[in-house]
Structure 1
Amino acid sequence: MAALTIATGTGNWFSALALGVTLLKCLLIPTYHSTDFEVHRNWLAITHSLPISQWYYEATSEWTLDYPPFFAWFEYILSHVAKYFDQEMLNVHNLNYSSSRTLLFQRFSVIFMDVLFVYAVRECCKCIDGKKVGKELTEKPKFILSVLLLWNFGLLIVDHIHFQYNGFLFGLMLLSIARLFQKRHMEGAFLFAVLLHFKHIYLYVAPAYGVYLLRSYCFTANKPESAASSLFPTLSFQEGPLSCILGSKLLGFVQCFGQSAVCHRLLSVGKAGDASIFLILTTTGHYSLFPLLFTAPELPIKILLMLLFTIYSISSLKTLFRKEKPLFNWMETFYLLGLGPLEVCCEFVFPFTSWKVKYPFIPLLLTSVYCAVGITYAWFKLYVSVLIDSAIGKTKKQ
């Protein structure tokens, strides 16, 4: 604890958190990887070997290039580093090619690109209200938020085991939000536009960004705060864009849980109600990712990492809001505890039943339905919270 106290004065604790999670990512390099590994290897080969005019038409592999142009150019740049690791990975006709050097390059490229995510987390932490400051470093909102973001269980297993490049994309999104916090609207809008050109799945968030920017930046007479208040009468400047974005993200949860959970971490250290919604959303959502890692060696890894992250999330936020009402009611507690028996049934009981061969989809069905209930509940709870706060804010204003 003394070491943590010393680190507080110098700011070294953030670097220590970032370095620690980077080392963990390196330990995950030999783990299982999904077909997305081959998808991105093929995109490296396409962009490196073919002229631009053929990038979106090459169909030797079933994993054709289907991301927006910025991501294609991103793969092109990576390919010029990849050639120094293993030239064969850049051959379009080497389908399902995977050498040890290819594996190292792909894994390290994801880890390296997370530098943007780390920077964005640091910028977001600068925007956190410092009024609720505990005596210990571990009780400070900035420290808790940094852990929740940097050690995000979902990103760890999706990017660094399953294999994708969500980290730096989330970094762009968080950096965009940080710029909105800082009232640097043009930068925030620009970063979000860049993000759209990297991955089209963020498109459904665009209406929320558009509405917020129109009211907080465009339709103002040099009074961005009053405009923001008219759109979000009971929310602080920081909470306004986040709540708007989260609403859009929760609607698209099936494909984009990670985006909504990462975004909601920013609100979780602000109010007890938001912390409760965050914990339900992230715990349920993280468990819904379990079917992505279906191989035996990764079973203890995913269970251990999720337990550690969930225990820390709940305990740290309970400590932060210990003077307020409990974060969960009895129904929410019962629901979250139900994830344990569900995991036992799916991973340890079902494989020994006669249904395994005839109905192999049952564990996935149970997981999907159970988690859908929790996510839908979190979505309604978020909107009820916004509506109640809005009504209270209007009453106070009157």
Structure 2
Amino acid sequence: MLPFCISLLHGRNFNTFLKLIVGCAFSSFLFGWHVHEKAVLTVIIPLTILAVRDGRYAKIFFLFSVFGHYSLFPLLFRPFETVLKYCTFLLYTIFTYLTMIHVHESSSHLPFMSLFETCYLMGICIVECFLYVAPVFPKLSNLSQFIALLEFVIVGSYYCIIQLRVNGQLFLIDSSECSFNVWEMFAVLVA
């Protein structure tokens, strides 16, 4: 969080402040002692504003919000919530994707995904299929809920680490235009 906070001393404008909030939210979510599923909203909400203002953050927002909302699935575990959960998730994902394309139509930073990111998104379907096939097999039925929660945590944390790195790189690019480089100072402080 320190590089993000120090950068506010140099450039005081709304975009820098918004990037500071997103960077600190990513850091606190990732390195928090206790990360609850709903805590992902502390990253998604300010990232929404940043994604609309800056096309470079649209892809980060889209993918992080998809995985963030998917991480809320274990909270909706009753059978009658299943259809509502999937319909809401699909509608939100489609709406978000189309909105990001519409808002940034003239930008070269459209929220299209690479092959890796597309496969990563398809992993959601594989995990959900596993959750519905596992109860058929007696040995897997006892472990299916634990494995699903473990998968949510692993996939979510891995993607959060990736997006924190990407967000930091974009922040570094923006701060490299200044004479005061926050990241060099942070490297000196750590060493």
Question: Normalising TM by the smaller chain, what interval?
Answer: 0.7 to 0.9
User: Partners in 2 of 1:381 and 1:342 — Cα distance?
Assistant: 26
Higher RCO by CA contacts (8 Å cutoff, separation 6 or greater): 2
Query: Secondary structure of the equivalent of 1:269?
Result: helix
Counterpart of 1:351? 135
User: Partners in 2 of 1:391 and 1:211 — Cα distance?
Assistant: 11
Q: Call closer, same or farther: CA 1:261–1:358 in 2, change over 3 Å.
A: closer
Residues 100-122 of structure 1: per-residue CA shift (max 9 Å, x gap): xxxxxxxxxxxxxxxxxxxxxxx
For structure 2, list consecutive stretches of 5 or more residues without a partner in the other structure: 30-34, 180-191
Is the aligned partner of 1:241 residue 2:17?
Answer: yes
Q: Call closer, same or farther: CA 1:353–1:238 in 2, change over 3 Å.
A: farther
Question: Deviation of residue 283 (structure 1)?
Answer: 0.6
Q: Call closer, same or farther: CA 1:268–1:211 in 2, change over 3 Å.
A: closer
Q: Call closer, same or farther: CA 1:257–1:304 in 2, change over 3 Å.
A: same
Is the aligned partner of 1:375 residue 2:166?
Answer: no
User: Partners in 2 of 1:368 and 1:264 — Cα distance?
Assistant: 21
Question: Deviation of residue 211 (structure 1)?
Answer: 8.0
The answer on whether the counterparts of 2:134 and 2:144 sit within 8 Å (CA) in structure 1 is no
Question: Deviation of residue 313 (structure 1)?
Answer: 0.3
- Pairs within 5 Å for 1:220-231: 230-231=10-11
Q: Call closer, same or farther: CA 1:334–1:322 in 2, change over 3 Å.
A: farther
User: Partners in 2 of 1:319 and 1:340 — Cα distance?
Assistant: 26
User: Partners in 1 of 2:63 and 2:143 — Cα distance?
Assistant: 33
The answer on whether the counterparts of 1:280 and 1:375 sit within 8 Å (CA) in structure 2 is no
The answer on whether the counterparts of 1:350 and 1:363 sit within 8 Å (CA) in structure 2 is no
Counterpart of 2:107? 324
The answer on whether the counterparts of 2:135 and 2:144 sit within 8 Å (CA) in structure 1 is no
Q: After alignment, is 324-333 or 374-383 more displaced?
A: 324-333
The answer on whether the counterparts of 1:285 and 1:375 sit within 8 Å (CA) in structure 2 is no
Q: Call closer, same or farther: CA 1:385–1:357 in 2, change over 3 Å.
A: same
The answer on whether the counterparts of 1:265 and 1:278 sit within 8 Å (CA) in structure 2 is yes
The answer on whether the counterparts of 1:342 and 1:367 sit within 8 Å (CA) in structure 2 is no
Larger Rg: 1
2:51 is matched by which residue type in structure 1? S
The TM-score, its normalising length taken from structure 1, stands at 0.39
Is the aligned partner of 1:258 residue 2:41?
Answer: yes
Is the aligned partner of 1:305 residue 2:93?
Answer: no
The answer on whether the counterparts of 1:288 and 1:371 sit within 8 Å (CA) in structure 2 is yes
Question: Deviation of residue 357 (structure 1)?
Answer: 2.1
User: Partners in 1 of 2:127 and 2:103 — Cα distance?
Assistant: 30
User: Partners in 1 of 2:106 and 2:117 — Cα distance?
Assistant: 20
- Pick one of 280, 286, 303 that aligns with 2:63: 280
The answer on whether the counterparts of 1:290 and 1:302 sit within 8 Å (CA) in structure 2 is yes
Question: Deviation of residue 338 (structure 1)?
Answer: 2.3
1:231 is matched by which residue type in structure 2? G
The answer on whether the counterparts of 2:47 and 2:61 sit within 8 Å (CA) in structure 1 is yes
Question: Deviation of residue 386 (structure 1)?
Answer: 0.7
Q: Which runs of 4+ in 1 moved over 6 A?
A: none
* RMSD over aligned Cα atoms: 2.5
1:391 is matched by which residue type in structure 2? S
Counterpart of 2:185? none
Q: Call closer, same or farther: CA 1:298–1:247 in 2, change over 3 Å.
A: same
Q: Call closer, same or farther: CA 1:388–1:344 in 2, change over 3 Å.
A: same
User: Partners in 2 of 1:248 and 1:343 — Cα distance?
Assistant: 31
2:137 is matched by which residue type in structure 1? T
Residues 280-333 of structure 1: per-residue CA shift (max 9 Å, x gap): 111111101100111111011111101101100011111221222332222222
Question: Deviation of residue 359 (structure 1)?
Answer: 5.8
The TM-score, its normalising length taken from structure 2, stands at 0.78
2:28 is matched by which residue type in structure 1? G
Counterpart of 1:201? none
User: Partners in 1 of 2:101 and 2:73 — Cα distance?
Assistant: 26
Residues 196-253 of structure 1: per-residue CA shift (max 9 Å, x gap): xxxxxxxx9xx95x984xx4xxxxxxxxxxxxxx236xxxx22211211211211232
1:374 is matched by which residue type in structure 2? Y
For structure 1, list consecutive stretches of 5 or more residues without a partner in the other structure: 1-203, 216-229
Q: Call closer, same or farther: CA 1:358–1:264 in 2, change over 3 Å.
A: closer
1:269 is matched by which residue type in structure 2? V
1:265 is matched by which residue type in structure 2? T
